[in-house]
Amino acid sequence: MIRFERVSKVYPDGTAAVDGLSFEVAAGELVTLVGPSGCGKTTTMMMVNRLIEPTSGRVLVDGRDISGVDPVQLRRRIGYVIQQVGLFPHRTVLDNTATVPALVGWKRSKARARAAELLDLVGLDPATYGPRYPAQLSGGQRQRVGVARALAADPPVLLMDEPFGAVDPVARERLQSEFLTLQATVRKTVLLVTHDIEEAVRMGDRIAVYGQGRIEQYDSPAAVLGTPATAYVARFVGADRGLKRLSVTAVERADLEEPPVARTEEPAGDAARRMRAEGARWAVVLNGDGELHGWVSALALDAAPSALGAALPRVGDLARRMEAWVPLGSPLKQAFSEMLQHDAGWVAVLDGSRFAGVLTPAKLHEALRRSVDADAQGVGRAEVDFDSVSDA
Ligand SMILES: Nc1ncnc2c1ncn2[C@@H]1O[C@H](COP(=O)(O)OP(=O)(O)OP(=O)(O)O)[C@@H](O)[C@H]1O
Ligand SMILES: [Mg+2]
């Protein structure tokens, strides 16, 4: 969808901002460009919508060399969230959002209806926020308007330059996950610039790690963290990259253990006998539909009254609530954090509402190893070979 072929940019004063850049972004893919200040990220991005022209090499969008495409036409198909948001201060939020549709000649009423729809999409009530001016919004709200404005003409490509840069870490994390949810539905081809490796890892299907004017590694987040291509990348991602891997490795079915199980309707005495025979100290409690009800200890079952005449207790009566659980496919980090938060030796893993198994610390460690090994074998490597992109 977006392809850079040996692109260089030397500014008139001789600054070589980008040097021989080759990479490709597939349709519907979100690629993050990450690197220190001044390494050429914004320059790269602006060459996609021709706000900056390369000195050499070429950029293709949708298979077409964009040097032959009218910049105005080109920009209609490319949404742009600029660094520092850049809303027009004297225009309302609604009119800011409607800027591009209005520019490309939509009727005013249609452009405004579309703008309202988009504000809603990014979590801003159009009735409340539409009439306000940018100065009357919080930083996070302004950034949402920036995203809404970029999406307004429904462009297939989105360029986002530090879109969540100007807010505190909490608001930032919320904006990030909201955008990921949004992206799961709109599936734009996205280039997102950040200087924050955490953000790059969290948001990117792939990450381009920039050194000075060049890409040092172009890979999946797990691969960048697991097998940094150069000493520079290793330094850039940080000594805690092992920890960061927890965020990009998902809990899979194969990682799960099958613990002893008891059913809510089962008489407590039966369950206690069975668990004693298996040497189990606790069991996961499921209801008749296989949904997680909680857990029960062998001790609690043993202590239950079993006097004849009184109603016999069922497992469900003695079970405790299960607090540590995550959905299948969650990042290992979330599972680990549940364990710590609830001081639990394991977490339950659910597939929808059905119980799938439990993740133990030993299995968590194995899962982390598995993803390191997968990367070492080249799975998930970038398909672009930087030296073999043809000039054709
Ligand atoms: N118009 C220009 N003329 C000369 N040099 C420029 C110009 N614009 C940018 N540069 C230089 O090109 C290099 C790359 O700039 P660029 O804006 O692409 O960096 P960046 O990676 O986006 O940095 P930041 O994270 O600070 O936004 C920098 O050294 C910058 O000073
Ligand atoms: Mg920049």
Q: Predicted confidence band at 373 (pLDDT cuts at 50, 70, 90)?
A: low
Beta bridge partners of 347: 359
pTM: 0.75
38 lines ligand 1 (CB under 6 A): yes
| Mean residue pLDDT across the chain | 86
Domains of the chain: 2-249 (3.40.50.300), 253-369 (3.10.580.10)
Helices of type H across 156-249 = 169-186, 197-203, 221-226, 231-237, 241-248
The atom of ligand 1 lying closest to the CA of 39 is 21
> What are the CA-CA distances from residue 142 to residues 14, 133, 200 (Å)?
36, 10, 21
Q: For the chain, what's the residue count?
A: 392
Contact (Cβ atoms closer than 8 angstroms) between residue 120 and residue 104: no
* Contact assessment for residue 89 and residue 150, using Cβ atoms and an 8 Å cutoff: no
DSSP 319-350: -B----EEETT-BHHHHHHHHHHTT-S-EEEE
Q: Which of 41, 212, 214 most suits a substitution to test ligand 1, by most atoms within 8 Å of the C-beta?
A: 41
Q: Please, which pLDDT band fits residue 81 given cuts at 50, 70 and 90?
A: confident
Asked whether the CA dihedral 160, 166, 171, 172 is positive or negative, the reply is positive
- In this predicted structure, the answer to whether residue 389 has a pLDDT above a threshold of 50 is no
> What is the DSSP track for 203-214?
H-SEEEEESSSS
Residues by chain with Cβ below 5 Å of ion ligand 2: 42
Which of 43-47, 95-99, 386-390 has the weakest average pLDDT? 386-390
Task: Encode 11-69 in three state secondary structure.
Answer: CCCCCEEEEEEEEEECCCCEEEEECCCCCCHHHHHHCCCCCCCCCEEEEEECCEEHHHC
Per-residue pLDDT of 292-336, as tens digits, reads 999 999 888 887 765 445 667 899 988 998 888 999 988 898 899
pLDDT at 337 over 60: yes
147 band by pLDDT with thresholds 50, 70 and 90:
confident
- CA pair distance 265, 284, nearest whole angstrom: 13
| pLDDT tens-digit map of 162-202 | 888 767 777 778 788 888 888 888 899 999 999 889 899 98
> Of the candidates 328, 329, 348, which has an alpha carbon nearest to the alpha carbon of residue 338?
348
Measured from the Cα of 195, ligand 1's closest atom is 25
| Ligand that lies nearest to the alpha carbon of residue 33, given by its number in the listed order | 1
pLDDT value for 188: 93
Q: What is the pLDDT of residue 305?
A: 67
**233-264: pLDDT as tens digits:** 999 988 778 788 888 888 999 999 999 999 99
Task: Point out the ligand 1 atom lying closest to the alpha carbon of residue 41.
Answer: 21
User: Please, are residues 177 and 4 in contact by the beta-carbon 8 Å criterion?
Assistant: no
Q: What is the pLDDT of residue 169?
A: 76
Residues 369, 373, 374, 378: what is their CA dihedral angle, to the nearest 10 degrees? Answer: 150
Q: Is 176 helix (H, G, I), strand (E, B) or coil?
A: helix
Ligand 1 atom 4, closest CA? 11
Residue with tokens 């742009």: 80
